Every structure is written in structure tokens, then in C-alpha cells.
Amino acid sequence: MDPHRPQPAPERTWRERVKALENVGPLLRMVWATSPPLTLASLTGRLLRSGLPLATLYVGKLIIDAVVHTVRTGEADSGRIWKLVAIELALAVTSDLLGRAVALADSLLGDRFTNRVSVELMRHASTLDLAHFEEPEFYDKLERARRQTMGRLQLMSQVMGAAQDLLTLATLTASLLVFSPWLLLLLVCAVVPSFLGETHFASLSYSLLYRWTPQRRELDYLRWLGATQESAKEVKIFGLGDYLTERYRRLADLFYRENRILVLRRAAVGSVLALVGTGGYYGAYVVILYRTLHGILTVGDLTLLAAAFARSRGLIEGVLGTFSNVTEQAMYLDDLFAFFRMRPRIASPPGALPAPRPVRRGFEFQNVSFRYPDAEHDAIHSVSFELRPGERLALIGENGAGKTTVAKLFARLYDPTAGRILLDGADLRDYDIEELRREIGVIFQDYMRYQMLLWENIGLGRVEEVENRTRIERAARLSLASEVAVRLERGLDQMIGRRFAGGVDLSGGEWQKVALGRAYMRDAQLLILDEPTATLDARAEHRVFERFAELTRGKMAVLISHRFSTVRMADRILVLNHGEIHEQGTHEELLGLGGQYAELFELQAAGYR
């Protein structure tokens, strides 16, 4: 079985399609909240425009009957005819102006609505747990939700357009009923078969796109890999261009072949059903023509009814098609609202405690275990230790020992799966989460490289102070990012990263100094640095830690590093092995034990001899 081919998914049933219409109400409320004046303008314009088609057709009928009467009798009433022409012209101009006004309102409303939904998506995503961002299913939901930010207003336009068409249809069918009820029956026969066919294939189309969401995300990722600065070096050095291109081509071809089958079936069935509709239309036309030839209807009546029937057919097809589209789009809205219904599991409890300032007793891990979702083993297991105010703690261990997991638990990016973490004697889960995180500054080894101005990169460490230039400059000095700014043409105002015009790239060590600047910007009571000097040279590392020792004086700090020159400055060192605390103590105490720490220290020291 091809791992890239999605598993079959059942077609949505009619019950599911109708149930999806429940999403239309919340959508319309969102649209109204976006801009009541624009929404009202669109609705009013459509309402006024709905009665104009019948009025125009009726005036046209009167004109034709008047002209025929003049031709037959020679009794001209040109004044009346020209008045009717002027009225028809006025109706046409009014319809055009209202149509343009509605289009303008919809366009402005669409832009505002798209912006609003995009903002809401970003805001809601920022409230979700870190664990969500580590699940493929989450990215499928997010991708489907993001696709709804563009064009979802079309659904609102379709709903309001359908309401306008229904009003117009009511006036036109009333005119048909006056002359012959059989015309309505032929009208239904002309449109219903095509509607049922389109509805069926619309459901299949949704099912196809839904199933292919992971593969479409992979296509986007492959496009990104093939043409981005981050991957360009390895793509060239390892010769990955042809491999990535071929992988993209194979996956794109799979989607094309499956979609082509559906498109061809839709075209074939639609053509047959369209013939049925055409037969119904010409059947009605024959009835109208027959009655006109036998003197039952006037030529004006013939024109009115033929045009009314054709327009009614188009309107019914439009309304039924809109219903099909609305149910289809409403199913897509399921994806948007499903994403908004996601709730974080890590949140502040009712009556949450404010974060203590200053911290008096410190943190305590009590038999803490944590296992990542879908993992077979604990990342850390039964870990117990304390971090007292003013203490600097170092965590060392081989890759996968659980060091970064401990850092994430400090910041409550995760909650323990067993045990508990206390701060000043209270469980971390009892504190207000936003206040708690404001007291903790963390720079992870996979820190972000924001494609923004240099001062913004630093200021984001405390976003409420992002415009505080004095604070930013101080953080830059402490982290040595000021030395990066000196060599740049525009200093702290330089765009960094190559994504945008005028941007310049930095070395790994320079990016790390900028990331450290964010930590210094924080002014937190607990500072956690995960491999803070991994890309710095020896001289820069020494200077960074001189500043770090000064910055953390009287504060709590957690250092995660493989460099023993770094961890020696800690007051206490924890050695993690397979998620458990294997040893702990000062540098000298651990060397005296002659255990894992001493072994690792000797191995690293041997590399410098």
C-alpha cells in the first residue's frame, strides 16, 4: 500500500449535510459582528433589487403589446411607449447601481471578515497547548481551518443572494401561475435532476479534499523545502533537488489522478442531466408558443412568460445550486469551528493564585514523571529535586535524558503525568498561567530566528515592553547582541534574515546572542537557558557567562548544557540518565564520586589535551 495515498473516507450523508447547516448561523453572526453597517447595506441592496426583474419584464411586455397594437391598428400612442421605455431604462440603471453597491459592500466586508478570522485563528492557536503542536492531527485541523479564512464570506454572499433570488423567484412564478400551473411542473422537471447530481458530486469533492489534507500539507512542505533559504545549503550539497522534485511530482500526480476521475464523472453525469433540464425548458416554451398562436396570449405575454420561465429556471437552478454549495461550504465550516472548539488542557483554574513575587521558597519537583503523547516510555520518571531562590542549577546528560523536558515542565508548557511541581508550596496548576510564565524566561536550543528588525527580535522577550528602547539596548549589551548591531549598517534597526527586502543573515553565534537578548529582556525570577552557548566561540562563551553570572545574582537559574565549562558555574548539578536523576551535587562532589559525571568530564577534557 502506498503510504502517501489517503485512506478511503465515506461520502457525507444527507443528514450530515443538513446538520452542517447549523454552522451557517454562527457564520452570519460573525459576519454581522465584523461590520453591521456593511452587512446591512448588502442586505438592503439585495432586497431592493429582488423585485426589479419582474418589474422590468412587465414593462417590456407593455412596450411590446403597445408596439404590436400600433402596427396592427395604426393608432400610435408614442408618448406612452416612450414613457415605458424611460421606466425600463430607469429600472435597468437602478438594478445596475444596486448590483454595484452590493458588490462593493461584499468586497469590503469580505476583506474585513477574512482579516478578522485570520486574527481569531492566530489568537486561538496561541492559547492551545504545546502538545497540540506536536500532533499531526492538529496540523490537519489547522490547515483545514486556515483554508476557510479565504472565501468563507462567499458563503454569506451565497446565502443572502439565495434569499434575494427566492424573492425574485416568488414574483416570477406568481406570473407563471396566473397563466398556466403546468409551467411550474415543467419548471421543476427542468432543474431538479441537475441539482441532485451536483449535490452528490459536491459531497464527493469535499470527501476527497478532506482525505487529502495531510498529503496537501506534505506538498506545501516539499515546495517549501525546494525553495527556501533554510534548506538551500543542504539541498545543494546533498543533491536533493531531483529527489524532492520527484517526490513532489509523484504525490501531486496521485492527487491529480484521483481528482480527474471525480471531475470526469461529474462532467459526464452533469451533461446527461443538463439534457433533461433543456427538454423541460423547451417543453414549457412549446406550451407558451402554442397558446400564443391560438390567440390565448398576446405577443407581450409570450415575451413575458418565455423570459419569466427562462429566468425562473435560472433562479431555481441558482437557488438549488446555492443550497448545495451552502451545505458543502457548511461542511468546510465544520473544520473552522472544530478548530475554534479546541480547548487547551493546560489553563488557569477558577480563582487562580497570582504568581509570587518575590519567590520565597522556590520550586520543588515531587516524584514527577512525564510521557509525551503516543510515546512508549516516560521522558522523565520519578524525578525529585528542589530549586531554591538565588540558586543556579545545571542539568546535564546525554541526548534524550530528559533535560529539555524538565525545562518545559518548569514553564508549565506541559503538566506532569504523575507527581507534582510546587512553587512556594503550591502546585503550579493552581497559579494563573500567564502570570507564572511572566516570571520565567526560557531560551531553548531550537530558539526562533524572527525575520524582523533586530530590536524587535530582542524586544519580543517581553512583548509588553517591545517599544522600550532603553530596556532593549540594555538586554542587547548583556547578551552581546549589541556587538552584532555595531557591524550592521542600520544597527538595531536592521532587518535580519533573508526573507524580506533589505534583510541580512547572521551567523549561528550571532543569532544565539540575539536569542539570549530576549532572555535578558524578560527580567524574570527564573531564567532557563537550554544550550545557551552551543554556537558561540570560546571567547564569546566566556564573556556571555560573565554577564550571565551578573544577571542571575540573587535569582534562580537553570542551565542545560553539554559543556562542563558552563555547568561548573552552577551551585548544584543534576545528572540525568534515561529520564531519572542519576547523580547530583557540586562539580567537585561529582568528580569525587567517580561516576557518570566524572566519566563525561574526563572524556570532554581529553579532547582539549
Distance CA 375, CA 386 (A): 27
All residues at 6 or more sequence positions from 555 whose CB lies less than 8 Å from its CB, including other chains? 389, 390, 524, 525, 526, 527
Strand residues in 346-416 grouped as ranges (E):
363-370, 380-387, 392-396
pTM of the model: 0.65
Share of the chain above pLDDT 70, in %: 71
- When the pLDDT of each residue in the chain is averaged and rounded to a whole number, the result is 78
- Residue-level pLDDT at 11: 46
Q: Tell me where in the chain the CATH 1.20.1560.10 domain(s) lie.
A: 18-341
Is residue 10 over pLDDT 50? no
What is the phi/psi pair of residue 574, to 5°?
A: -110, 130
Distance CA 482, CA 491 (A): 8
Sorting pLDDT into bands at 50, 70 and 90, what band is 94? Answer: very high
Distance CA 84, CA 215 (A): 61
Mean pLDDT of 407-419: 92
Residue 449 grid cell: 530566528
Distance CA 217, CA 202 (A): 22
Give residue 135's region: left, alpha or beta (phi > 0; psi -120 to 50): beta
Is residue 153 over pLDDT 60? no
Residue 490 grid cell: 542600520
Distance CA 542, CA 565 (A): 9
Share of the chain above pLDDT 90, in %: 19
Distance CA 495, CA 220 (A): 26
Neighbours of 257 (CB within 10 A): 9
Is residue 81 over pLDDT 50? yes
Q: Tell me where in the chain the CATH 3.40.50.300 domain(s) lie.
A: 346-439+524-609
- Residue-level pLDDT at 16: 64
Q: Is 509 or 323 the better-scoring residue by pLDDT?
A: 509
Is residue 1 over pLDDT 50? no
- Residue-level pLDDT at 516: 83
What class has domain 346-439+524-609?
Answer: alpha beta
- Residue-level pLDDT at 281: 60
Is residue 549 over pLDDT 80? no
Please name which of 173, 40, 200, 35 lies closest in space to residue 110, comparing C-alpha atoms: 35
Is residue 555 over pLDDT 90? no
- Residue-level pLDDT at 221: 77
Neighbours of 348 (CB within 10 A): 16
Residue 551 grid cell: 544577571
Distance CA 321, CA 540 (A): 67
- Residue-level pLDDT at 521: 86
- Residue-level pLDDT at 189: 60
Q: Is 16 or 447 the better-scoring residue by pLDDT?
A: 447
Question: Is residue 575 a contact partner of residue 582, using CB atoms and an 8 Å limit?
Answer: yes
Fold of the 18-341 domain: ABC transporter transmembrane region fold (1.20.1560)
Mean pLDDT of 485-496: 92
